[in-house]
Amino acid sequence: MRTLRVGIASYGEMKARTMAIAKGTCKPAASDPRVWFPSAESFARVLSDKNRALLDTIAKFCPNSLAELERRTGRRKSNLSRTLKTMERYGFVALKKGARGAVVPRVPYQAISLTLPLPSFTKRPNKAA
């Protein structure tokens, strides 16, 4: 099963990581995320319930155009186009040119795995009641 690995990192964290990779002090592991979001909220917006249902429809029916996808989902073509372009930026969909210039969406992964770092915290002793 092809899985897209996604991570959460602030702009500062991503800049530091990119600089470390460029300097050769950090070598990305094969298991590291390939796509990064600045926050869990931004990830949740792009992969909302509605958009996950859209990915499911694309994977199930392999529509040959946005017009066909519009008929299957009830979403307007202009909305689909915007949403799919955003999802393409993150690798969630691939948009190909089809017959007569039609945009053909495909879902290249069967799963998306999110690595979500938890904030550091100090352990507090239990207070006696």
Whichever domain contains 28, its CATH number is: 1.10.10.10
Q: Is residue 120 part of a domain?
A: no
Q: How far is CA 44 from CA 5, 23, 65, 124, in A?
A: 15, 32, 26, 31
pLDDT of 129 strictly over 60: no
Judged against a pLDDT cut of 80, whether residue 126 lies above it is answered with no
Range of the domain at 37: 3-115
Domain count for the chain, please give it.
Answer: 1
* Residue 125 counted as domain residue: no
For residue 123, name the pLDDT band (cuts at 50, 70, 90).
Answer: very low
Quote the CA–CA distance of 74 and 91 in Å, as a whole number: 24
- With a pLDDT cut of 70, the percent of the chain lying above it is 92
Task: Give burial (CB, 10 Å; 0-12/13-18/19+) of 109.
Answer: middle
